[in-house]
Structure 1
Amino acid sequence: MKGIARGLVYLHEFSPKKYVHGDLKPNNILLGQNMEPHISDFGLGRLANIAGASPTLQSSRMASEKPQERQQKSTTSDTTTVASSTTLGSCYIAPEALKVVKPSQKWDVYSYGVILLEIITGRMPVVLVGSSEMDLVHWIQLCIEEKKPLSEVLDPYLVQDGDRDDEIIAVIKIAMACIQTSPEKRPTMRHVSEALERLAISDV
Structure 2
Amino acid sequence: MNGDTHILQVSQLTKAYRHQVIFRNLNLVINKGEWVGVIGDNGSGKSTLAKTIMGLEDGAEGYIYLGNRSKDHFSRNEWVQEVQLVTQYTRNALDPTKKIRELLLEPLRLFQLANKKEGLAKIGQMLESCSLSLDLLDQRPREISGGQYQRICIALALLVQPKLMICDEATASLDMINELRIIELLKRNTEMAVLFISHNQELVTRVCDRCIYMRKFL
TM-score under structure 1 length normalisation: 0.25
Q: Which of the pair is proportionally richer in helix? A: 1
Q: Which of the pair is proportionally richer in strand? A: 2
- The structure, 1 or 2, with the larger RCO (C-alpha pairs under 8 Å, 6+ apart) is 2
